[in-house]
Amino acid sequence: MLQRLWKVLCSLKLTIILASAATALTIVGSVVMIRYPKTFGMLDEMVLGAWFSRFGHSNYALTGWFWIVCLLFILLGINTLCCFLDWLPKVRYRWRKSGEYLIHLSFILLLIAFIWGSASGDRSQGHRIPVGATLDLAKIAPGYQLQLNAFSPTFSPEGRPDDLPSTLTLFKDGIVVKTGTIRLNHPLTYADLVILPGSLAQQVDGFRFSGELELRPGSIVRQADGTALRVITFLPDVMLRNGRIFPGGAELNNPAFELELIAPGQEPWRGWYLLRQPLPSPLAAAGFALQPIEPLVTWLSILTINRDPGADLALLAAWCMAIGVLFALISFYDKRQRGDAPDII
Amino acid sequence: MDLTRILLPLAFGLYLIAFVLYLLHFKGRQASVAKGAFWSIVAAFALQSFVLGQRWISAGYLPVTNLFSTLFFFSWALAAVYLYFELRYRIRAIGLFVIFLNLLLLGAALPRDPVLKPLIASLDTPLFTLHIAFSFFGYAFFAMAFSLGVLYLLQRIIDSAALPDLYTLRRLNEEAIFLGFILFTLCMIFGSIWAYVAWGYYISWNIKSVWSLVVWLFYGGMCHAKFIRRWQGGVYAGLSIAGFAIVLFTYLGIGLLLSSNHPLD
């Protein structure tokens, strides 16, 4: 009984049936994929395990085929593994098939790597980070933090972003584990993490005033009599309700500075300066004439941060497959030259 | 002066001459006619290679990024594959069908704009060159297998002395499928590594990637199917034809009709 089952699991016909079924179902399923982008368009946004838990159970009429394709691939993997294990003890006299069986092994490794990554990996896009800031990756990779040291996007003559180089430092529990510059096709990888440039955005973080005066959080303007004006906060958009200031959105709309005025021999004054309104009287009285000219804009790097514990195994599978392919190629010509006839069933 | 606009129609003309000569050879079976066809193909291939080299040098990257350049590269790869089979096995009558396919590819490329545009930054990696080159050589072998499949079925009906025997056609078909699968596997490997460094994942569910997986799976299955006696011959030839339909849809259908991450113009 077990021997018969083993024979079935190792059988070439099973391989062809499974591969044909997976091919045919994927062809049909691809039409469903195109027609229902809301469901299937998210497949690249998240790992497969997360996709299945979010969309896989919602409508089996739509996703049923995908479940079956995945099952067929797992069965194909088992079939391939059995074929490989069946060949392994015969390697001494069937070594000319090494290339083909290396391809089989790499397919199994790739399948394991993909299932591993799909089950315990993660994908996240749209991490906006300004230069100098640190991002806590607790949600994606607990214990990790990411700091953006520099961001210098380059643009084509048409104004399209050409590349998005970001110099990053990755910390684990506060200790630097990797530093590097990422750009298109050059991610930062560490353990199972891969950090890639995603996009860019602009952030207004201050204002330029008449007299080439630039104010950002932390800026201090001193006058000859020792009076100092310190910028505490800048918000690109605020709302005023019952005399109190509330932060609005990230877009430049109703900008405001929270300022502190320190004059010798006087109590410090602290208050808000809404740029659409006149200068607060204590500032005017202290001799400040702030005339807003234009916003000060800095770039934000928008990063994609993925975690795939199976990536290294997948890379090993890729190497294994490439070597297998070359071996198979050599042995193909060798067999043809020797006039070896394959085993026909 | 744009050499592409001058030399490519010349190459097309040479392929056309080769096609006509092969047609005459098919009827009259004169060795000198077949020789003339072969040298016409060699000359056309040399012209195409020169144009490809010149465009590669002036662009600074392998120019296979739009419909014109992919059709051109596909045609060049198909000619190279044909020459490989021709030089290795000297089976000239096969050229009739392959060169007809090549004429279709090059003929479709000729009216299009051959202008070289600057490479977009995301394609500026050796992985792109390897991915694209292996992909089109894989396609070319599948196109060869398609031609051999058609000829196999034709030979079964007409039993012509001008065509190789069924056994030879089957063996050549198996070789074309095997080599196509090997090259397409390399294309998938480099594509996956590129996807990982560009997007952070190595398997994409974009429609093009899904159909590439279908192509790989289909021809992987065919590499196994040759070991089943009942499937050798007619079934295998039929599968070679069906497989090329999948290849064509993956290359042209998705590139032109659907929105994917591999757009063609």
The span from the CA of B139 to the CA of B133, in Å, is 10
The span from the CA of A314 to the CA of B77, in Å, is 30
Residue A341 has a pLDDT of 61
Within 10 angstroms of residue A59's Cβ, the number of other Cβ atoms is: 11
Cβ–Cβ gap A33/B210 under 8 Å: yes
Dmax over CA atoms of chain A, in Å, equals: 104
Instruction: Please state the rounded mean pLDDT for residues A15-23.
Output: 93
b/e sequence A31-45, b meaning 16+ C-beta within 10 Å: ebbbeeeebbeebbe
Beta-bridge partner residues of A228: A222, A262
pTM for this structure? 0.88
Instruction: Please state the rounded mean pLDDT for residues B27-38.
Output: 86
Quickly state the pLDDT bin for A170 (edges 50, 70, 90). very high
The span from the CA of A331 to the CA of B219, in Å, is 19
Q: What is this model's ipTM?
A: 0.89
Strand intervals (E) in chain B: none
Looking at per-residue confidence, does B36 or A265 come out higher? B36
Q: What is the mean pLDDT of chain A?
A: 91
- A113 CB burial (10 A radius; 0-12, 13-18, 19+): buried
Is the predicted pLDDT of residue B1 greater than 60, yes or no?
A: no
Within 10 angstroms of residue B97's Cβ, the number of other Cβ atoms is: 21
Residue of B nearest to A31 (CA): B207
Cβ–Cβ gap B198/A196 under 8 Å: yes
Beta-bridge partner residues of A251: none
Q: Which residues of A touch B197 (CB under 8 A)?
A: 185-187, 196
**Token pair belonging to A230:** 């310190």
Residue A127 has a pLDDT of 94
Q: Which residues of A touch B193 (CB under 8 A)?
A: 315, 318
Quickly state the pLDDT bin for B66 (edges 50, 70, 90). confident
Is the predicted pLDDT of residue B223 greater than 80, yes or no?
A: yes
Task: Name which of B102, B107, B101, B109 is nearest B63 in CA terms.
Answer: B109
Q: Does A115 touch chain B (CB under 8 A)?
A: no
**Token pair belonging to B98:** 């392959």
Task: Name which of A106, A32, A95 is nearest A69 in CA terms.
Answer: A32
Residue A237 has a pLDDT of 93
The span from the CA of A17 to the CA of A20, in Å, is 5
Interface test mutation site (partner A, options B128, B173, B199, B247, max chain A beta carbons within 10 A): B199
Task: Name which of A13, A319, A25, A265 is nearest B192 in CA terms.
Answer: A319
Residue B265 has a pLDDT of 63
Instruction: Please state the rounded mean pLDDT for residues A143-162.
Output: 90
Is the predicted pLDDT of residue A225 greater than 90, yes or no?
A: no
Residue of A nearest to B228 (CA): A345
Least confident of A102-106, B45-49, B89-93: B89-93
Residue A311 has a pLDDT of 96
Residue B65 has a pLDDT of 86
Q: Does B217 touch chain A (CB under 8 A)?
A: yes
Gap from B135 CA to chain A (nearest CA, Å): 15
Q: Which residues of A touch B202 (CB under 8 A)?
A: 311, 314
Gap from A297 CA to chain B (nearest CA, Å): 25
Encode chain A in three state secondary structure: CHHHHHHHHCCHHHHHHHHHHHHHHHHHHHHHHHHCHHHHCCCCCCCHHHHHHHHHCCCHHHHHHHHHHHHHHHHHHHHHHHHHHHHHHHCCCCHHHHHHHHHHHHHHHHHHHHHHHHHHCEEEEEEEEECCCEEECCCCCCCEEEEEEEECCEECCCCCEEECCEEEEEEECCEEEEEEEEECCECEEECCEEEEEEEEEEEEEEEEECCCEEECCCCEEECCCCCEEEEEEEECEEEEECCEEEECCCCCCECEEEEEEECCCCCCEEEEEECCCCCCHHHHHCCCCCCEEEEEEEEEEEEEEEECCCHHHHHHHHHHHHHHHHHHHHHHHHHHHHCCCCCCC
Cβ–Cβ gap B232/A22 under 8 Å: no
Cβ–Cβ gap B232/A162 under 8 Å: no
Cβ–Cβ gap A194/B196 under 8 Å: yes
Interface test mutation site (partner B, options A97, A137, A184, max chain B beta carbons within 10 A): A184
Q: Which residues of B touch A325 (CB under 8 A)?
A: 182, 185-186
The gap from C-alpha A285 to its chain's centroid, in whole angstroms, comes to: 52
Residue A344 has a pLDDT of 58
DSSP B122-184: GG-SHHHHHHHHHHHHHHHHHHHHHHHHHHHHHHHHH--TTSPPHHHHHHHHHHHHHHHHHHH
**Measuring CA to CA, how many Å separate B124 from each of A160, A186, A196?**
16, 11, 16
Q: Does B209 touch chain A (CB under 8 A)?
A: no
Cβ–Cβ gap B198/A184 under 8 Å: yes
Q: Does A341 touch chain B (CB under 8 A)?
A: no
The C-alpha angle A72, B208, B117, rounded to 5 degrees, equals 160
* End-to-end CA separation in angstroms for chain B: 24
The span from the CA of B242 to the CA of B232, in Å, is 15
User: Rg (Cα) of chain B, in Å, rounded?
Assistant: 19
Cβ–Cβ gap B197/A19 under 8 Å: no
Is the predicted pLDDT of residue A166 greater than 80, yes or no?
A: yes
The span from the CA of A114 to the CA of A200, in Å, is 30
Half-sphere exposure (Cβ direction) of B26: Cα atoms closer than 13 Å: 17
Residue A223 has a pLDDT of 87
Cβ–Cβ gap B258/A34 under 8 Å: yes
Looking at per-residue confidence, does A265 or A327 come out higher? A327
- % of residues, chain A, pLDDT over 70: 98
Q: Which residues of A touch B229 (CB under 8 A)?
A: 344-345
Residue A345 has a pLDDT of 58
Residue of A nearest to B188 (CA): A318
Q: Does A258 touch chain B (CB under 8 A)?
A: no
Nearest to B201 among A20, A306, A342 (CB): A306
Is the predicted pLDDT of residue B144 greater than 90, yes or no?
A: yes
Which residues are CB-neighbours of B195 under 8 A, at least 6 positions away?
Answer: B201, B202, B203, B204, B209
Nearest to B192 among A20, A186, A318 (CB): A318
Within 10 angstroms of residue B223's Cβ, the number of other Cβ atoms is: 19
Cβ–Cβ gap A19/B232 under 8 Å: no
* End-to-end CA separation in angstroms for chain A: 22
Looking at per-residue confidence, does A61 or B180 come out higher? B180
The span from the CA of B198 to the CA of A44, in Å, is 13
DSSP state of B231: G
User: What are the helix (H) ranges across B90-125?
Assistant: 95-109
Residue of A nearest to B127 (CA): A185
Q: Does A345 touch chain B (CB under 8 A)?
A: yes
